[in-house]
Structure 1
C-alpha cells in the first residue's frame, strides 16, 4: 500500500525529537516540527482520507471520473497549502504527494501512464492542471 507522505513527515518529526532529546542534534538545526505542524498533518490526512475513499472501483471507471477524483484531491491540497501560507508543499513534498496519488491510483487498477498518454500528458503530469503547490 502506498505510504502517505504525512507518515514519513511524522516519522521525521519523531526522529528529530529523539535526536534533540539525546543531545545529538543542535536545536538550531531542528526544523521538522516547524515545517510540519500538527494542524498541517491533520488537514492533509483528512484530504487523503477523502481521496482514499474515492479509490475503490476507479480501475474500471471512465477517464473523466479518474480525473475528477484527482482534481478534487489536488484542489483540496491546494487549499491546505494556501491555509499554511502557500509555501508548505515545496519540491520534496510535492514529489511525495504526486507519487502517493499515482501509486494509490495504480493500486486500485488505474494505469496512470496509459491514462496520461491518452490525454497527451507526460507520465508525471497527472496533477499539473490543478496543482498550485
Structure 2
C-alpha cells in the first residue's frame, strides 16, 4: 500500500527531535514539531483510516462512487485544515496528500487517468472540486 504522508511527517518530527537531543540543530531552528503537531497527525491519520476502509468498497465501482470517496476524504481533510487555522497543509503536504489519494485509488483498481478524462479533468485535478487546502 502507498505510504501515508503522515508516516514521513512523523519520521521527520522524530528525526529532528533526535538531532535536537544530540545538540544539533539549535532548538530555535527546529520546525518539524510546529509544522506537524500530534493533534494534526492524529486527525489526518483518522481521515486516512476512513478513506482506506472505503477503498475496499470501490472494487468495480462506478465513477460516482469513486468521486464520492474522493469528496469525503477531501472534505474531511478540509475540516482538519480548518481546525488548524487553515494552515495545516502547506504546498508540499498538499501535493503529498493528493498523490496519496491518487496512488491509493490506483492500487485499488481505479484508472485515475481515465476517470478524470471522462469528466473533462486532468489527472491532477481529481481533488480540485472540493479541496480548500
After superposing the two structures, state which structure 1 stretch, 21-30 or 110-119, moved more.
21-30
Aligned to 1:121: 121
Aligned residues: 133
Q: How much has 1:7 moved relative to structure 2?
A: 0.4
Residue in structure 2 matched with residue 74 of structure 1 by the alignment: 74
Q: Secondary structure at the match of 1:124?
A: helix
TM-score (norm 1): 0.98
Which residue number corresponds to residue 52 of structure 1? 52
Which residue is 1:91 aligned to?
Answer: 91
- Contact residue 57 and residue 108 of structure 1 kept, 8 A: no
Cross-structure match for 2:35? 35
Deviations 1:6-62 (A, max 9, x none): 100000000001110111211111010011110110010000000000001424100
Taking the TM superposition and a 5 Å limit, the aligned residue runs for 1:3-22 are: 3-22=3-22
TM-score (normalizing by structure 2)? 0.98
Deviations 1:84-130 (A, max 9, x none): 00011010000000000001000000000110011000110000000
> 4+ runs of 1 displaced by more than 3 Å?
none
- SS of the residue aligned with 2:126? coil
Q: Give structure 1 stretches of 5+ with no counterpart.
A: none
